[in-house]
Structure 1
């Protein structure tokens, strides 16, 4: 089988539980498969190499570019197209066939979009979800026409070397139909640990509206609409479980809708905590500026 002229980049840190399946799913289909590893302390690197992947070490320097933009700039940059996979993701057979149709050379035809959005087949607590909230990832990119945003969020907690929850900037973009399977084999507690960190970042953004607006511009239309919604925990649950029929997934659909609603609640609670902590500092500043009735009466 002819390999496609695409570099697969797999950013990892401690993905020994999942990396073998991920590498095996792509190693026979793409020109290069590169694991970009951030100082894993488990067997991620050895397992990836054993399956035929190249391993490139990565250490974040605390500034931009972050990890995925670094991959765009440094992982075989002479190959225009790059396909990002998380360490627990595998392209479905249908997606591989769809990508092969796009990149198989045809006289007189070129691949024109700057990027492709791919729907995620999401697994939660060991169950494949068929309904509910749908995630779409922009992960198949022409690196000459795509770039990740660089918002002023380096002081924010929660994300570290990872880009935040926004898409790379690209135009035009085409959405594919077949799914990328996101099947995390780690215990469900790791999902909550990750989202606890992510909610730190989201809450920091709520407390810094100028940076929040920078990121809003880089989100999908669905993401921008939800960004403005009030009562986000309730809206999140109603949208995923009722409107998008998450109830058809049985207990797994309920668990995931509740987990996402809890994530939104965490963000709101942490945002209120940040605002409360900042409020005492604002009062002396107002007094020093002569604000309030006491200053005006003298």
Structure 2
């Protein structure tokens, strides 16, 4: 059994959570914790039936959000913690590589976290192309926490979404992929990205006046925030994803996926223009 806690933040995830837990399996890790934000469906019942611990989280609209709240108030007793979304499914190859990675680093040889790779499923099938999805979601307990962003209910999201942990130590990666599936449908996908866009626009507005925050960005974040004020960010993402990163190999699904992502980035640009206009009107 791995000296690892898997923490799964959820809200109304009955369509995804059962499959996520079954993919983890029993006996792989010391503890599985479900951090619930007031689910009104069968999410909590599914978690308890599996034998996972359930914590109730109530967000006050400010820092900390769900993951940092868990790290601060329910600090895992294990050496490692892995944050997993309910629509992320551990594969057999990933679990094998996870065991190897944590066993090899059991003597604290300087590795404090791992970047993880994900396969993206869209409209029921795995995408062959498009930009790769990676997250820094596995790290040593006590090695750091997610970025501190002082927000005031920019959106309804009570969980750190596009933030990443700031760790003190070397970071490696696990190459085998986790399957990123979502069985809640396109309505959920679009609604979720509307909230993401509102949050991203508000965050970018704050970044302009916070040098310390921008110094913590990954190279991908730096590129995104350099381009995000330009109307071309959406079309450039589409060209990169669909053409240069091979999204065309997925046919109509790849085209639709790239179009939706292009729309997402274009929406962020429009929201930024709107925020700027409101600020200018306020100063008049």
The answer to whether the superposition gives a TM-score over 0.5 is yes
Q: Which runs of 5+ in 2 are unaligned?
A: none
Which residue does the alignment assign to 1:261? 262
Which residue does the alignment assign to 2:51? 52
Q: Partner of 1:250: helix, strand, or coil?
A: helix
The whole-number CA distance in structure 2 between the counterparts of 1:127 and 1:147 is 34
**Worse-matched range after superposition: 245-254 or 10-19:** 245-254
Which residue does the alignment assign to 1:37? 36
Query: What are the residue-to-residue correspondences of 1:24-173 with 2, within 5 Å?
Result: 24-28=22-26, 29-104=28-103, 109-110=107-108, 112-152=110-150, 154-170=151-167, 171-173=169-171
CA deviation map 1:2-29 (0-9, x unaligned): x111001010000001111111122421
In structure 2, relative to structure 1, the CA distance for the partners of 1:186 and 1:160 (3 Å cut) is closer
The whole-number CA distance in structure 2 between the counterparts of 1:104 and 1:193 is 40
Q: Which has the greater radius of gyration?
A: 1
Residues 131 and 246, structure 1, Cα contact 8 Å, conserved in 2? yes
Residues 113 and 172, structure 1, Cα contact 8 Å, conserved in 2? yes
Q: Partner of 1:25: helix, strand, or coil?
A: helix
Residues 157 and 200, structure 1, Cα contact 8 Å, conserved in 2? yes
**Worse-matched range after superposition: 93-102 or 119-128:** 119-128
In structure 2, relative to structure 1, the CA distance for the partners of 1:273 and 1:51 (3 Å cut) is same
Residues 13 and 38, structure 1, Cα contact 8 Å, conserved in 2? yes
Structure holding more strand per residue = 2
The whole-number CA distance in structure 1 between the counterparts of 2:244 and 2:224 is 14
Which residue does the alignment assign to 2:278? 277
**Worse-matched range after superposition: 233-242 or 60-69:** 60-69
Q: Aligned pairs, how many?
A: 279
Residues 232 and 265, structure 1, Cα contact 8 Å, conserved in 2? yes
**Worse-matched range after superposition: 258-267 or 70-79:** 70-79
TM-score, normalising length from structure 1? Answer: 0.87
Q: Partner of 1:132: helix, strand, or coil?
A: coil
The whole-number CA distance in structure 1 between the counterparts of 2:32 and 2:25 is 6
Q: Which runs of 5+ in 1 are unaligned?
A: 284-298
Which residue does the alignment assign to 1:291? none
In structure 2, relative to structure 1, the CA distance for the partners of 1:213 and 1:90 (3 Å cut) is farther
Residues 116 and 175, structure 1, Cα contact 8 Å, conserved in 2? yes
Which residue does the alignment assign to 1:290? none
